[in-house]
Amino acid sequence: MSLRYALIALLTGRPMTGYDISKSFSRSVAHVWHAPDSQIYPELNRMERDGLLTSVEVPWGKKGTKKEYHVTDAGLADFREWMGSPLAPQRQRDPAYLKAAYFDFAEPASVREQLRQQQAYWEEQLSLLEGTRAALVDRTHPTLAARLSKLTGREAELAVRYKVYAYDGLIARARTELAWIADGFALVDELHDS
Amino acid sequence: MSLRYALIALLTGRPMTGYDISKSFSRSVAHVWHAPDSQIYPELNRMERDGLLTSVEVPWGKKGTKKEYHVTDAGLADFREWMGSPLAPQRQRDPAYLKAAYFDFAEPASVREQLRQQQAYWEEQLSLLEGTRAALVDRTHPTLAARLSKLTGREAELAVRYKVYAYDGLIARARTELAWIADGFALVDELHDS
DNA sequence: ACAAACTAACTATCGATATAGTGAGATGGC
DNA sequence: GCCATCTCACTATATCGATAGTTAGTTTGT
Radius of gyration of chain A (CA): 21
Q: What is the dihedral of CA A152, A155, A156, A159, to 10 degrees?
A: -160
Among B residues 133-192, those touching chain A with beta carbons less than 8 Å apart: 155, 157-159, 161-163, 165-170, 172-173, 176-177, 179-180, 183-184, 187, 191
Tell me if A105 and B79 make a contact (CB, 8 A cut-off): yes
- Residue A136 CA to residue A87 CA, distance in Å, equals 25
How far is CA B106 from each of CA A166, B120, B139, rounded to the nearest angstrom? Answer: 15, 20, 47
Q: Which residue did the predictor score with more confidence, B4 or B1?
A: B4
Residue A29 has a pLDDT of 85
Residue A64 has a pLDDT of 78
Most A CBs within 10 Å: which of B7, B104, B151, B155, as the mutation test of the A interface? B104
Tell me the CA–C1' distance in angstroms for A18 and C3: 27
- Residue B194 CA to residue B190 CA, distance in Å, equals 6
Residue A15 has a pLDDT of 92
> What is the per-residue pLDDT across B10-61, written as a single tens digit (0 to 9) for each?
999 999 999 999 999 888 888 889 899 989 999 999 899 888 999 998 887 7
Give me the tens of pLDDT residue by residue for chain A, a chain 194 residues long: 789 999 999 999 999 999 999 999 888 888 889 899 989 999 999 899 888 999 998 888 777 788 999 999 999 999 999 999 988 878 788 889 999 999 999 999 999 999 999 999 999 999 999 999 999 999 999 889 989 999 999 999 999 999 999 999 999 999 999 999 999 999 999 999 76
| Contact between A174 and A122 (Cβ < 8 Å) | yes
Secondary structure tally for chain A: helices H, strands E: 8, 3
Among B residues 55-114, those touching chain A with beta carbons less than 8 Å apart: 79-80, 83-84, 86-87, 89-107, 110, 113-114
Tell me if A84 and B107 make a contact (CB, 8 A cut-off): yes
Tell me the CA–C1' distance in angstroms for A91 and D16: 15
Assess whether B14 (CB) lies less than 7 A from strand D. Answer: no
Q: C-alpha angle B36/B39/B44, rounded to 5°? A: 125
| Contact between B96 and A69 (Cβ < 8 Å) | no
Q: What CATH class is the domain B2-84?
A: mainly alpha
> What is the per-residue pLDDT across B106-133, written as a single tens digit (0 to 9) for each?
999 999 999 999 999 999 999 999 999 9
Q: Which residue is nearest to nucleotide C24 (CA to C1')?
A: B64
C chain positions with any atom within 7 Å of a protein CB: 7-13, 15-21, 25-27
Q: DSSP letters along A87-106, please?
A: PPPPPPB-HHHHHHHTGGGS
Tell me the CA–C1' distance in angstroms for A37 and D17: 11
Which nucleotide lies nearest residue A39, CA to C1'? D17
- Residue B76 CA to residue B83 CA, distance in Å, equals 10
Q: Which residue did the predictor score with more confidence, A57 or B138?
A: B138
- Residues in B 17-36 whose C-beta is less than 7 A from nucleic strand D are 17-20, 22-23
> What is the per-residue pLDDT across B61-83, written as a single tens digit (0 to 9) for each?
777 788 999 999 999 999 999 99
Contacts of B103 in chain A (CB under 8 A): 83, 158, 162, 165
Whole-angstrom distance between the N-terminal and C-terminal Cα of chain B? 50
B42-74 burial, b at 16+ Cβ within 10 Å, e below that, comes to: ebbeebbeeebbebeeeeeeeeeebbbbebbee
A127-145 burial, b at 16+ Cβ within 10 Å, e below that, comes to: ebbeebbebbeeeebebbe
Residue A90 has a pLDDT of 80
Residue B15 has a pLDDT of 93
Residue A97 has a pLDDT of 93
> What is the per-residue pLDDT across B151-163, written as a single tens digit (0 to 9) for each?
999 999 999 999 9
Most B CBs within 10 Å: which of A105, A118, A122, A157, as the mutation test of the B interface? A105
Residue A194 has a pLDDT of 63
| Contact between B16 and B24 (Cβ < 8 Å) | yes
- For chain B, the average pLDDT equals 91
- Residue A84 CA to residue B107 CA, distance in Å, equals 7
Residue B143 has a pLDDT of 87
* Listed residue (B116, B58, B163, B102) closest to A161, CA to CA: B102
Cβ-based contacts under 8 A for chains A and B: 179
Please tell me which residue of chain B has the smallest CA distance to A86. Answer: B114
Confidence of residue B96 (pLDDT cuts 50, 70, 90): very high
Residue B194 has a pLDDT of 63
Residue B49 has a pLDDT of 87
Assess whether A32 (CB) lies less than 7 A from strand D. Answer: no
- In this complex, is the C-beta atom of B19 within 8 Å of any C-beta atom belonging to chain A? no
Contacts of B155 in chain A (CB under 8 A): 104
